[in-house]
Chains A and B, each alone.
Chain A
Amino acid sequence: MYPLITLGPLRLSSGGLLLLAAAYLWAWRVVQVARHRGGTTLAVHAKECTLPALFGAAIGGRLWAGLFSLDRYGPAPELFLAPQLTDLAWPGALLGGALVGWGCCRRRGANPWALADVAALSLPLALAVGGVGLLLSGEAFGLPTTLPWGVPLFGAVRHPTQLYGTLAALLIGALLSAAEYFASDDRPLAPGRLAARFLALHGLSLLLIEALRADSFTIADGVRATQIVGLALLLAGLHRLRARPAPTMPMPPVPID
Chain B
Amino acid sequence: MLTLPALRRSTGNLLLLAVFFGGVLFIGVTRVQPLTSATSAPAPIDVAPAPEISHPAPPFTLHTPDGATVALADLRGRVVLINFWATWCPPCRAEMPAIQAAFAQYQPQGFTVLAVTAGEDAATVTAFLQAHDLHVPALLDTNGQVHATYFASTLPSSFFIDRRGVVRAIYKGPMSHSVITGTVAQLLAEQ
Contact residues of A with B, CB < 8 Å? 1-3, 6, 9, 11, 13, 15, 69, 71-72, 75-76, 78-79, 82-84, 86-87, 136-139, 154-155, 207, 210-211, 216, 218, 221-224, 227-228, 230-231, 234-235, 238-239, 242
Q: Is the CB of A154 within 8 A of B19?
A: no
A179 to B12, CA, bound (A): 21
Q: Which B residues are CB-close (under 8 A) to A82?
A: 176, 178-179
- Nearest 4 CB-CB pairings of A with B: A211-B30, A138-B90, A222-B32, A231-B23
Q: Which B residues are CB-close (under 8 A) to A87?
A: 173
Pick from B28, B119, B132: contact of A223, CB under 8 Å = B28
Closest partner residue, chain A, to B30 (CB atom): A211
Q: Is the CB of A75 within 8 A of B53?
A: yes
Q: Which A residues are CB-close (under 8 A) to B91?
A: 86, 137-139
Majority SS at the chain A contact face: mixed
Q: Which B residues are CB-close (under 8 A) to A239?
A: 16
A109 to B24, CA, bound (A): 38
A2 to B182, CA, bound (A): 23
Q: Is the CB of A155 within 8 A of B176?
A: no
A6 to B172, CA, bound (A): 22
A151 shortest CB reach to chain B, Å: 12
Pick from A136, A216, A218: contact of B90, CB under 8 Å = A136
Query: Can you list 16 A-B contacts with CB-CB less than 8 angstroms, sorted by A residue number?
Result: A1-B94, A2-B93, A9-B176, A11-B177, A72-B170, A72-B173, A82-B178, A83-B176, A84-B174, A137-B90, A155-B86, A222-B34, A223-B31, A227-B23, A230-B23, A234-B23
Pick from B33, B174, B179: contact of A78, CB under 8 Å = B179
Is the CB of B15 closer than 8 A to any CB of chain A? yes
Q: Which A residues are CB-close (under 8 A) to B182?
A: 78
Interface hits, B146-191 → A, CB 8 Å: 155, 169-174, 176-179, 182
Interface hits, B133-153 → A, CB 8 Å: none
Is the CB of B43 closer than 8 A to any CB of chain A? no
Q: Which A residues are CB-close (under 8 A) to B172?
A: 69, 71-72
Is the CB of B97 closer than 8 A to any CB of chain A? yes
Is the CB of B98 closer than 8 A to any CB of chain A? yes
Q: Is the CB of A231 within 8 A of B171?
A: no
Q: Which A residues are CB-close (under 8 A) to B178?
A: 9, 82-83
